[in-house]
Structure 1
């Protein structure tokens, strides 16, 4: 791809548009590919790649914007997941402490019950 980008570029001239180079290579190497159609760079009628550079640049920018937006959403979701896990761990620790307290109370109650039973047996 780098070779295709550099071919035909006059000294000091601008390199070819990446989207155009990718489209050219893709249509030559795999003409049955639907990738260009899926990303909206080629119509479904299989016409030769013919969009203007400005249109392609705008489309690429739009796709990059959507990708960045999805990355931000994913990052927010990761942060929320971390918070939920932290709260879950805190809740689990509180439940474990509460369980231990209840267990101690039950053991104390059992001990009292055993003492009472022993008192009644002695009578």
Structure 2
């Protein structure tokens, strides 16, 4: 790719941009690839769009912008997921503590009930 970028530019012509070089190499090396179609640099009928270097640069910049935006959204979602997991763990811990407290109260109530039952039956004087 570096060799293709360094090739001489004819007088009056525009230098090749990175997207055009990648498109040329990719179509030569792997003609069955759908990558160029997926990013919009080639039509589905395998005919290249006649785009200028500026148009290709603008398209690449738009794709890079969208990719960066998606990365930021993904990072925000990851941070949100970490917060939700943390809150979930805190809630689980609080529920476990509450469960233990209620279990102790039930055991104490059962003990009192057993003592009262014994009193009514006349077992304890």
Against the structure 1 CA distance between its residues 10 and 51, is the aligned structure 2 distance closer, same or farther, given a 3 Å change threshold? Answer: closer
How many residues align? The count is 122
Q: Give the TM-score, by structure 2 length.
A: 0.84
Against the structure 1 CA distance between its residues 24 and 86, is the aligned structure 2 distance closer, same or farther, given a 3 Å change threshold? Answer: same
- Quick one: distance in 2 between partners of 1:119 and 1:79? 60
Higher relative contact order (CA 8 A, sep 6+): 2
Against the structure 1 CA distance between its residues 37 and 44, is the aligned structure 2 distance closer, same or farther, given a 3 Å change threshold? Answer: same
Against the structure 1 CA distance between its residues 109 and 28, is the aligned structure 2 distance closer, same or farther, given a 3 Å change threshold? Answer: same
Q: Give the TM-score, by structure 1 length.
A: 0.85
Assess if the C-alpha contact under 8 Å between 1:4 and 1:21 holds in 2.
yes
RMSD: 2.8
Deviation at 1:28, TM superposition (A): 1.0
Contiguous gaps of at least 5 residues in structure 1: none
Deviation at 1:83, TM superposition (A): 1.2
Assess if the C-alpha contact under 8 Å between 1:6 and 1:15 holds in 2.
no
State the Cα deviation string for residues 87-119 of structure 1 (Å, max 9, x = none): 111111111111011001001011111211222
- Quick one: distance in 1 between partners of 2:18 and 2:70? 23
